[in-house]
Structure 1
Amino acid sequence: METLTLSPSEMEARIVRYGALVPCRTAFIDAHTPGSDQKENFTIIGGGVSESPDQHVHIKETPGFNIGAAGQPPKCRNSLHSHRTAEVFFVLKGRWRFFWGRWGNAGEVVLEEGDIFDIPTGIFRGFENIGTDYGMIMAILGGDDAGGGVIWAPQVIEDAREHGLVLAETGKLYDTKKGQRLPDGVKPMPLLTDEELKAFPELPPSAVVRDYVARYWDLMALAKHEPARVIGESALLKDRPGFEVELLARGSIPEDAYVTDRHEVLMVMRGHWRLAWSGGETVLAPGDTCAVPPGLSRALAPSMSGEASLYRVRNTDDPAGPTRRG
């Protein structure tokens, strides 16, 4: 494999610093709906699933998956929706309640900082910041196009219409409060019928927590001597969503520089990490996201004492379609 060399400026263009994240407050159909109108959406790598032309995209090149984030103040929630491909979250800051089902009452689970949730495809899901401060969750979305958008529960579309936002069948939002209207020949997004809704399962909480949730401190114990395999064919959460996820801690860092033919995204959870590569070095802080290209030699090491962890995501040859379902 031919190895690469990147200058510090070239690598910095592949790093999205937490403090430089640009939010969008009008990303989705529930942007005016009370209880959901204070959330912020971040598109870090790839186009994401935003329905707003105002969404800022930090890195447009996709490695076979998308990276995004959601930031919300306390008691703010994201409305019930579904995706056609994987949606994986880990909690960077705060305490979050995830809930699912047609009406959001089929089950729920509370995630603490570092916990990760590989949400099954084909179910309606939502989430809420139940902490006391502004919270942030990081997201990995399957596919280069993130599955072709969001599928909203019918009541979400109806509630949004009452507060001035109309979603077109093209997936674009129109704000009637600003005098916008659907173009001629363009219809509103149709509501799912009762028959279509039968295809969205209501999963029991016990099965979801057992098969789709991994707790941070369990993963840290597994990562004591080698990377903890979190999501993958032979990982703790056995799934093949088009990418694999590992957690690296202080004791599981590769001793030498390494090269891979896969795209690799580093998402720092705790601590500061020194990243050295053929051409330079830098320090990654909590919340930073770094897209390392195939063929580039790199080495990782915590730059300070104390707790250190990061999630490492790599693309696989698995198709980014529906993965595990209920």
Structure 2
Amino acid sequence: MTTLTDRIVRYGELQPCKTAFIDAHTPGSDQKENFTIIGGGVSESPDQHVHIGIPHGFNIGAAGQPPKCRNSLHSHRTAEVFFVLSGRWRFFWGRWGDAGEVVLEEGDIINIPTGMFRGFENIGTDYGMIMAILGGDDAGGGVIWAPQVIEDAQAHGLVLGEDGKLYDSKIGARPPEGVGPMKVLSEEQLKDFPEPTAMEVVGGYVRRYWDMVALADKTPCKVIGQTGIIRDKPGFEVDLVTRKSASTEMHSHDVPSVLMPMRGHWRVEWAGNDQHPAGHAVLAPGDTMSVPENLPHNATPAMTGEASLYHVVSTGDPAGLTWRGD
């Protein structure tokens, strides 16, 4: 029998990677910290630390950035969902990042449509953190960068190879023989990347924290899912649980699930089984807990005050395109 300690990642124990992506040396993006909490993530760097490698049907990650630091324009083949843990963030999209934008505050969530270029920037006054949920166990097999991002990176010494790996020419690294640099998308290929308006994205894919808290008055708010307030099937479902909608009743899932506190401290209790003895743990904002499949458990606020947490569970749906455009 094993304890669940190794399935809890504390905020203060997160191990960042500062060379995760091709824009790691580009001014304005060179202070990013990328975290892979659950799953393989989408990092292009072998330096990326994975905290929990157990397949969940989705990945959990995070991005930490100081003020005025941005993540460059890129696209994913599978779902990418963010909620703001701390700070104030601007999300923007389009070929040049000027098709639309939205500002998210703490607790707000965005389900960014796949198949379009997107980026984000910390516009707050202090270091900020956004938590990410990526569809699929392989997170879509990598990142597709806007052409100008690849070109800017090359000017600052970083080359992305056809093998999806980064090579830093400043330290003498270069792609192995037979591996060329990643080709930039042609103008014809770029036509396949949609540029929805701000109204389309904000109206369909963004939800505000306090609105979700109000909807979680008696039962958890189904944020993302086939019946969610963001109606989508990205391969997982996301609920927001608050003090009013938390329950002491034990429940379980036939797949691993994840608990991510947003506000307050949460006491998680679980019943014993053949693999894990009964126990409990207290989670704080920024902590992440992976709950094993078929393990009865509950989560309730551990003290007075505001309390909310995001709950994520795989649905087994293909983590396909979320942008419908119709």
Query: What's the TM-score, normalizing by structure 1?
Result: 0.97
Tell me the equivalent position of 1:286. Answer: 285
Q: Does 1:305 align with 2:298?
A: no
Tell me the equivalent position of 1:325. Answer: 324
Question: Matched residue pairs, number?
Answer: 319
Equivalent residue for 1:170, pick from 143, 148, 163: 163
Cα offset, 1:181, TM superposition: 1.2
Tell me the equivalent position of 2:81. Answer: 88
Equivalent residue for 2:221, pick from 228, 231, 248: 228
Distance 1:237 1:259 in 2: 24
SS of 2:133's equivalent?
Answer: strand
Query: What's the TM-score, normalizing by structure 2?
Result: 0.97
Cα offset, 1:322, TM superposition: 1.9
CA contact (8 A) 2:57 2:316 kept: no
CA contact (8 A) 2:242 2:307 kept: yes
Equivalent residue for 1:257, pick from 250, 255, 264: 250
SS of 2:247's equivalent?
Answer: coil
Q: Moved runs in structure 1, 4+ residues, more than 6 A? A: none
Cα offset, 1:260, TM superposition: 2.0
Distance 1:178 1:107 in 2: 38
Distance 2:283 2:257 in 1: 15
Matches within 5 A, 1:121-160: 121-160=114-153
What value does the CA root-mean-square deviation take over the aligned residues? 0.8
Cα offset, 1:324, TM superposition: 3.0
Q: Does 1:62 align with 2:62?
A: no
CA contact (8 A) 2:92 2:120 kept: yes
Cα offset, 1:259, TM superposition: 1.9
Distance 1:285 1:233 in 2: 29
CA contact (8 A) 1:122 1:325 kept: no
Tell me the equivalent position of 2:10. Answer: 17
CA contact (8 A) 1:121 1:325 kept: no
Distance 1:324 1:306 in 2: 38
Unpaired segments ≥5 residues, structure 1 = 1-5
Percent of aligned pairs with the same amino acid: 70
Equivalent residue for 1:107, pick from 66, 89, 100: 100
Tell me the equivalent position of 1:51. Answer: 44
CA contact (8 A) 2:160 2:166 kept: yes
Kindly provide the CA deviation profile for residues 167-191 of structure 1, in whole angstroms up to 9, marking residues without a partner as x.
0011000000001111110010000
SS of 2:251's equivalent?
Answer: coil
Cα offset, 1:62, TM superposition: 1.8
Tell me the equivalent position of 1:3. Answer: none
Q: Residue type matched to 2:38 in 1? A: I
Distance 2:223 2:298 in 1: 21
Q: Residue type matched to 1:196 in 2? A: Q
Unpaired segments ≥5 residues, structure 2 = 272-277
Cα offset, 1:255, TM superposition: 3.5
Tell me the equivalent position of 2:28. Answer: 35
